[in-house]
Amino acid sequence: MNTVVILLSAFVISVFGLFVFIWTQRRGLLDPSPRAAEVIFAPGEIGVVEDPAGTRETVAKLQAANPSIIGSGHAEELAERARADASTAPLVFFFLCCAFAWLLVASAAGLVASIKLHEPDWLIGQAWLTFGRIRTIHLNAVAYGWAPMAGLGVALFVIPRLLKTPLVGARYAFLGAALWNAALIAGLGAIAVGLGDGLEWLEIPWQVDILFVAGGALVGVPLVLTLLQRKVDHLYVSVWYMGCALFWFPVLFLVANIPGLHRGVQEAAMNWWFAHNVLGLFYTPLALASVYYFLPKIIGRPVQSYNLSLLGFWGLAFFYGQVGGHHLVGGPVPGWMITLSIVQSMMMIIPVVAFTVNMHGTLEGRLSALRYSPTLRFIGFGGLMYTVSSIQGAVEALRTLNVVVHFTHHTVGHAHLGMYGFVTMVFFGAIYFVVPRVSGREWPSPLLIGAHFWLAAIGITIYFISLSYGGWLQGVAMLDASRPFMESVTLMLPYLKARSIGGALMVLGHLVFVLHFVLLLTTKPSGRNQPTLLQAI
Amino acid sequence: MHDETRLLAGGMVMLAIATGALVVVPYMTVRDVPPIEGLKPYTNEQLRGRRQYIANGCVYCHSQQPRSRNFAPDFERGWGRASVAGDYAYDTPHLLGTMRTGPDLLNIGARQPSEQWHLGHLYQPRAYVPGSVMPGYPYLFELKDKADTGDVEVHLPPGFAPAGKRVIALREARDLVAYLKALDRTYPVIPAPKAVRTVRTPEDPS
Ligand code: HEM
């Protein structure tokens, strides 16, 4: 009885609160005029496709697939955009180089951890290579290396474009990024020698965390300065997501890492509040902001419904923060907290559907663009996986299903669908777009982009399907007390091996990606490729 | 007011609500629950062992939170009664875990009190449980030609000891096993104290 009351009131209060809030925000943000959605285009530019990752021919085909009237773009605004790009170029380039390095470190560690789960006697002589440490190195290199370096790099590129203002104070961000990377190296070293904190997602010792805080704050400085000098009236959707993410993360990180503050089961609640919010309020908004910017930009058509964007944004901001308790279903934590988290997990379906409908509407009739734009292919795939992984996550939170999958590899499959299928794929796409703009060179080989895409897409599909299915069987076996525990261990073996194969394809894709980047840097621009930066002016 | 001020203020309020629900209220209600009678504080040796448990990432394969009998058959598997907040009064950092590649360990000390078994299992799990995917931890042991006085020698099942060598447990391994043996929450949960009662869901009594 009691639970039902709690459940209902949580539901009612949250929805009521949210709508009151959106209502108070409607002016300015909920601007019914389509102008707000059009700020990503210069006057007259709607209808012009943009994909710096494409070749001349594919861009021409992309444009031909776009039936709307072609504008040409206001020369002055385009020049302004080029200036915004130029102001961020060295900084973004630095972030992306770091992202590439961490991508390789992280995925190599992930593959080693994966193989160890079915070859337990492999590489056990050295302490730092033991499963518990290499797995943690993988997670931290992904969580504090690849994802933030790529996400912040893209944000630093996009925000000045959206504010139509050159980036102010880039040198702070340089210093910040240097500190951040130094912190990560120190943190991974600490984990490798066994000095981790012991909290999942928060393993890096608090002494090192101080460096992260300083580094992160310095990266934030130019964004705030630029925001203060902005030249546009409308803050585009992407700015909401990126701006809030940059303020949410420091709060999460700080509260979670203060030594001595948390204890016992309260610490567990805090732990999953943090871990889920890093996903939901940091990587997810950075990736969604990228989708909201690049997808319309590439096909040259504004986002279909600005109001849906608003619902998607505030829905995410409100519901996502409270879902962390679903990692502790059945655990020794207050029951109301878990119930609240389950309810809000289901409510997440609202913003997810809002996003999905919106993107579907924007792409409608332009699906052929996926064929011609390499960037869009990655971003389209990623956007779709946002929908799939969010719905899966919401359903997984329900007690009846959670009791099966909670302690199994099924959740690891889900984690990769979100972090890889969605976030990582979107960042891949964004990087394909950004690199030509910041380096002034073009990707030398469409073939390599294709290879990367298919290796990543097939790899994650194998990864996800094998772990989801195997993990389900594992959970069912564990719930049947008449089957010995070891049955749940041995039945996973073929699925764990399949995961290693999927993972190996993903790693191969990353190697292709990085190799391609190196080729881009080392080969001289060929005749057909004028530096894109100049082309834009 | 500027758009960005409103945006950020709104965003921070949203986060504050979530933090209130998931951090502040638990802080006020379950952070300082008293230990349940029967739960002993860890000794120094056990605490050092707990550090080893953390350093080697046992938590990524082992949970420490049996669920209640009407939810899942954890008790039937021999993992113990559903745990309550008071069981973790001495646990910083918490090691509840979210994965059961291996069994729950909250009561492993009661289930398996043999130091020799634990040491040997840490050295080579497959010597005791064929098909186990738990990694061995040979770096917590030392191979010697003959044991010195004071050495704790591990007697492995035939065929698993390295030929002609003796396996000696390093202090790290002995500490870790001391911790594992201390994992024993088989004492009863006395139903009376209110602080403890509030931490179970009504539909989920232990
Ligand atoms: C760069 C892309 C990747 C991202 C963003 C990513 C993300 C993650 C995350 C969030 C977790 C934590 C999952 C959990 O505890 O539930 C994780 C764990 C893991 N990942 Fe990845 N991952 C990536 C690539 C890979 C690759 C290529 C492999 C190779 C097979 C891999 C293998 C693993 C393994 C084995 C674990 C540990 C799971 C366990 O504890 O049982 N990951 N990864």
* Signed CA dihedral, B32, B38, B41, B45: sign only: negative
Q: Is residue B73 domain-shared with residue B156, that is, in the same domain?
A: yes
Q: Which two tokens stand for residue A430?
A: 């964004």
* Interface mutation target, options A139, A263, A341, chain B, most CBs of B under 10 Å: A263
- 8 Å CB contact of B15 and A407: no
Asked if residue B198 belongs to a domain, the reply is: no
Domain count, chain B: 2
Asked if residue B190 belongs to a domain, the reply is: no
Q: Report the C-alpha gap between A502 and A459 in whole angstroms.
A: 4
Specify the ligand 1 atom closest to the Cα of A111: 29
Q: Is residue B145 domain-shared with residue B57, that is, in the same domain?
A: yes
Per DSSP, the three-state class of B142 is: strand
Q: Is residue B8 domain-shared with residue B86, that is, in the same domain?
A: no
- 8 Å CB contact of A481 and B73: yes
Answer whether A333 touches B (CB < 8 Å).
yes
Rounded alpha-carbon distances, angstroms, from residue A2 to A6, A11, A334, A336: 6, 14, 13, 9
Asked if residue B79 belongs to a domain, the reply is: yes
Asked if residue B197 belongs to a domain, the reply is: no
- Residue A24: predicted pLDDT: 64
DSSP conformational letter for A523: S
Answer whether B107 touches A (CB < 8 Å).
no
Task: List CB contacts of A94: < 8 A, sequence separation 6 or more.
Answer: A174, A177
Q: Is residue B115 domain-shared with residue B173, that is, in the same domain?
A: yes
Average pLDDT rounded to a whole number, residues A315-339 = 90
Q: Which two tokens stand for residue A341?
A: 């988290």
Q: Is residue B48 domain-shared with residue B86, that is, in the same domain?
A: yes
Query: Could you report the per-residue pLDDT of B107-144, keeping only the tens digit for each?
Result: 999 999 999 999 999 999 999 999 999 999 999 999 99
Query: Could you report the per-residue pLDDT of A52-91, keeping only the tens digit for each?
Result: 888 888 888 888 776 555 556 677 888 888 889 999 999 9
Which residue(s) pair with B154 in the sheet? B167
ipTM field: 0.91
| Whole-number percent of chain A with pLDDT over 70 | 91
Q: Is residue B5 domain-shared with residue B92, that is, in the same domain?
A: no
Residue A16 pLDDT greater than 80, yes or no: no
Answer whether B61 touches A (CB < 8 Å).
yes
Q: Is residue B108 domain-shared with residue B54, that is, in the same domain?
A: yes
- 8 Å CB contact of B57 and A227: no
Check if the beta carbon of residue B75 is closer than 8 Å to that of residue A481.
no
Residue A537 CB neighbours (<10 A): 11
Query: Could you report the per-residue pLDDT of A154-179, keeping only the tens digit for each?
Result: 999 999 999 999 999 999 999 999 99
Give residue A537's pLDDT band: very low, low, confident or very high (50, 70, 90). very low
Query: Could you report the per-residue pLDDT of A354-382, keeping only the tens digit for each?
Result: 999 999 999 988 888 888 899 999 999 99
Answer whether A156 touches B (CB < 8 Å).
no
Asked if residue B187 belongs to a domain, the reply is: no
Which of A22-26, A190-194, B188-192 is the most confident on average? Answer: A190-194
- Residue A534: predicted pLDDT: 37
Give residue B7's pLDDT band: very low, low, confident or very high (50, 70, 90). confident
Q: Is residue B19 domain-shared with residue B52, that is, in the same domain?
A: no
Check if the beta carbon of residue B102 is closer than 8 Å to that of residue B134.
yes
Q: Is residue B25 domain-shared with residue B55, that is, in the same domain?
A: no
- Residue A67: predicted pLDDT: 58
Is the N-terminal amide bond of B135 cis, ω within 30° of 0?
no
Answer whether A69 touches B (CB < 8 Å).
no
Q: Is A416 in the pocket of ligand 1 (CB under 6 A)?
A: yes
Asked if residue B113 belongs to a domain, the reply is: yes
Q: Is A297 in the pocket of ligand 1 (CB under 6 A)?
A: no
Residue A56, judged by CB atoms within 10 A of its CB (0-12, 13-18, 19+), counts as exposed
Give residue A415's pLDDT band: very low, low, confident or very high (50, 70, 90). very high
User: Phi and psi of B153, rounded to 5°?
Assistant: -90, 140
DSSP E strands: which ranges in B81-172? 141-144, 153-154, 166-169
Asked if residue B159 belongs to a domain, the reply is: yes
Answer whether B5 touches A (CB < 8 Å).
no
Q: What is the CATH number of the domain that holds B67?
A: 1.10.760.10
- Residue A66: predicted pLDDT: 66
- Residue A64: predicted pLDDT: 76
- Residue A78: predicted pLDDT: 86
Q: Is residue B14 domain-shared with residue B103, that is, in the same domain?
A: no
Q: What pTM, to 2 d.p., does this model score?
A: 0.93
Asked if residue B67 belongs to a domain, the reply is: yes
DSSP secondary structure string for all residues of A183-233: HHHHHHHHHHTT---SSTT--S-HHHHHHHHHHHHHHHHHHHHHHHT---S
Check if the beta carbon of residue A243 is closer than 8 Å to that of residue A171.
no
Q: Is A139 in the pocket of ligand 1 (CB under 6 A)?
A: yes
Q: Is residue B27 domain-shared with residue B127, that is, in the same domain?
A: no
Quote the minimal CA–CA distance from A76 to chain B in Å. Answer: 26
- Cα angle A443, A446, A451 (rounded to 5 degrees) comes to 115
Specify the ligand 1 atom closest to the Cα of A113: 35
Query: Could you report the per-residue pLDDT of A266-310, keeping only the tens digit for each?
Result: 999 999 999 999 999 999 999 999 999 999 999 988 888 877 888
User: Which residues of chain A does B139 touch, with a Cβ-Cβ cutoff of 8 Å?
Assistant: 124-127, 130
Average pLDDT rounded to a whole number, residues A243-250 = 92
Quote the minimal CA–CA distance from A343 to chain B in Å. Answer: 13
Q: Is residue B49 domain-shared with residue B88, that is, in the same domain?
A: yes
Q: Which residue has the tokens 């502040």?
A: B24
> For a pocket test of ligand 1, which of A105, A114, A123, A406 has the largest count of ligand atoms closer than 8 A to its C-beta?
A114
- Residue A179: predicted pLDDT: 97
Query: Could you report the per-residue pLDDT of B68-103, keeping only the tens digit for each?
Result: 999 999 999 999 999 999 999 999 999 999 999 999
Average pLDDT rounded to a whole number, residues B17-33 = 88
Domain containing B122: what range? 40-182
Average pLDDT over chain A, rounded to an integer = 90
